[in-house]
Chain A
Amino acid sequence: MSKPDRVVLIGVAGDSGCGKSTFLNRLADLFGTELMTVICLDDYHSLDRKGRKEAGVTALDPRANNFDLMYEQVKALKNGETIMKPIYNHETGLIDPPEKIEPNRIIVIEGLHPLYDERVRELLDFSVYLDIDDEVKIAWKIQRDMAERGHSYEDVLASIEARRPDFKAYIEPQRGHADIVIRVMPTQLIPNDTERKVLRVQLIQREGRDGFEPAYLFDEGSTIQWTPCGRKLTCSYPGIRLAYGPDTYYGHEVSVLEVDGQFENLEEMIYVEGHLSKTDTQYYGELTHLLLQHKDYPGSNNGTGLFQVLTGLKMRAAYERLTSQKAPVAASV
């Protein structure tokens, strides 16, 4: 493959079991796997499983990660160079011999620390943080690990409790650096909901970033609450509620778009899409179309899927902007 003119670097941050792989699948559907290479940052663990146990540190701890190597290799890839990347084997917990990674048009770095190191952060063209509230995290992990024998609710809780100090110290602060944060919370539509099937999801979009225009509902900059169910649209229980408004987040201006509830059918989804602006779709209904292409992905009928696809469209817009900026320069030389 020929060396790409401009490598676009995307960072996806999130804990394990937070829907990173679903989001990455959605990105792959949008960009195509030939154009996009995904790098799992676990490969930059400096300590293997045994080493971490002996030192009493988790994989969340910066001491267990080699940020110098991460920076060097990500920078090299962005400059269009081929790298020899180590492989962290998740089954054995050992660091395997390295593999050759060729540069590609889009490089996605995903894992626990894509936004931790300032040097790596500077290289990123676009970044997302997947933020899952504890109550939802517990429900998802129970669902994920259900097939395992001997698994129990107490274990999930113990694991979250034990990892929390490192999570709060090293992972969560990365939210403040992301262009987009997708926050998943329990619903407010069902009083005392314990099922966690219906979700309230926020898309926290950073303002004032070069070339990234946040999506909005009805009127840019206003504070709006909208229930699309009524005469024009019949919704089943518990319905859908949207909200939009400006806010401050980690000391900077953001626009927050929110969806609570779930979509029962195509009409509801397209009705909502029709009232959103600056979604960076190429045709009317593209957002709904992309969601319906993979009904099998988790979250396709609620705000998580909607905002993951919307974030993907924002990334596509950023990619197109960055690659088209480069083209005229190359042509004039």
Chain B
Amino acid sequence: MSDIQEKIEQARQEAHAISEEKGATSPDAAAAWDVVEELQAEASHQRQQQSETEPFFGQYCDENPDAAECLIYDD
């Protein structure tokens, strides 16, 4: 997660620099901000997936589906 945060930060700085150099509505600025957008969307997806996985039983029961704590008989 910290890796993608670093990438976002880097992309943001780049976008700011390009916007200043070539103009806020130049195609290059658009491309640079689009990268920020894409990374932020990805970070948000990852966050969502993380919050969806159950804190303990999710991972534990994926690895040990036969453990007593994980057995659920659908009957």
Contacts and interface: CB of A to CB of B under 8 A. Distances in A.
Interface of A: 16-17, 21, 49, 52-53, 55-60, 90-91, 93, 141, 144-145, 147-150, 155, 158-159, 161-166
Contacts of B35: 49, 52-53, 93
Which of A49, A60, A147, A162 is packed against the most chain B CB atoms within 10 Å?
A: A162
Contact of A155 (B4, B5, B12): B12
Contacts of A159: 15, 33-34, 36-37
A163 B40 contact: no
Given A158-B19, A162-B19, A16 B37 contact: yes
Interface of B: 3-5, 7-9, 12, 15-16, 19, 24-45, 47-48
Nearest to B32: A53
A120 B37 CA distance: 26
Nearest to A141: B40
A150 B38 CA distance: 17
A25 to B, nearest CB: 10
B74 to A, nearest CB: 16
A165 B31 contact: no
Contact of A58 (B4, B9, B24, B31): B31
A59 B8 CA distance: 17
Which of B9, B28, B39, B41 is packed against the most chain A CB atoms within 10 Å?
A: B41
A17 B44 contact: yes
A93 to B, nearest CB: 7
A56 B27 CA distance: 6
Contacts of B29: 162
Contacts of B15: 158-159, 162
A147 B16 CA distance: 20
A136 B36 CA distance: 19
Nearest to A143: B44
B9 A150 contact: yes
Top 5 A-B pairs ranked by shortest CB distance?
A58-B34, A90-B42, A16-B41, A162-B33, A159-B33
15 contacts: A16-B37, A49-B38, A52-B31, A53-B35, A56-B27, A57-B27, A91-B42, A144-B44, A155-B12, A158-B19, A159-B15, A159-B36, A162-B15, A162-B29, A163-B30
A145 B38 contact: no
Nearest to A88: B38
Contacts of A56: 26-28, 30-31
B19 to A, nearest CB: 6
A158 B13 CA distance: 12
A60 B5 CA distance: 23
B4 to A, nearest CB: 6
Contacts of B31: 52-53, 55-58
Contacts of A144: 40, 44
Nearest to A144: B44
Nearest to A17: B41
Nearest to A92: B7
